[in-house]
Amino acid sequence: MNILEKITSAIVDGDNVKVIDYVEQAIKENVSAQDILNKGLILGMNQIGKLWNDGDIFIPEVLVAARAMNSGSEIIESSLLKSGVEPIATAIIGTVKGDLHDIGKNIVGMMLKGKGFHVIDLGVDVTKEQYLDAVKSNNASFVVCSSLITTTMNYMKDVIEYFKEQGFRERVIIACGGAPVTQEFADAIGADVYTADAVKLSEVFLDIVEVR
Q: State which residue, 54 or 170, has the beta carbon closest to another protein.
A: 54
Q: Map residue 126 onto helix, strand or coil.
A: strand
Q: State which residue, 60 or 167, has the beta carbon closest to another protein.
A: 60
**Nearest-CA neighbor of 24 among 85, 71, 63, 83?**
71
Q: Map residue 127 onto helix, strand or coil.
A: coil
**Nearest-CA neighbor of 51 among 21, 22, 9?**
9
Q: Residue 51 Cβ, how far from another protein at the closest point, in Å?
A: 11
**Nearest-CA neighbor of 19 among 50, 27, 59?**
27
- Residue pair 98/155 in contact (Cβ under 8 Å)? The answer is yes
Q: State which residue, 4 or 22, has the beta carbon closest to another protein.
A: 22
Q: Residue 194 Cβ, how far from another protein at the closest point, in Å?
A: 13
Q: State which residue, 124 or 160, has the beta carbon closest to another protein.
A: 124
Please tell me the distance from the alpha carbon of residue 118 to that of residue 147, in angstroms, as a whole number: 21
Q: Residue 77 Cβ, how far from another protein at the closest point, in Å?
A: 21
What DSSP line would sit under 62-84, residue for residue?
A: HHHHHHHHHHHHHHHHHHHHHTT
Alpha-carbon torsion (85, 200, 159, 107), positive or negative: negative
Burial 11-31, CB ≥16 within 10 A → b, else e: bbebbbebbbebbeebbeeeb
Contact residues for another protein (CB under 8 A)? Answer: 14, 55, 57-61, 63-64, 67, 97-101, 103, 106, 124-125, 149-152, 179-180, 182, 185, 196-197
Q: Residue 132 Cβ, how far from another protein at the closest point, in Å?
A: 18
Q: Cα(first)–Cα(last) distance of the chain, in Å?
A: 35
Q: Residue 160 Cβ, how far from another protein at the closest point, in Å?
A: 18
Q: State which residue, 81 or 196, has the beta carbon closest to another protein.
A: 196
Q: Residue 93 Cβ, how far from another protein at the closest point, in Å?
A: 15
Q: State which residue, 62 or 140, has the beta carbon closest to another protein.
A: 62
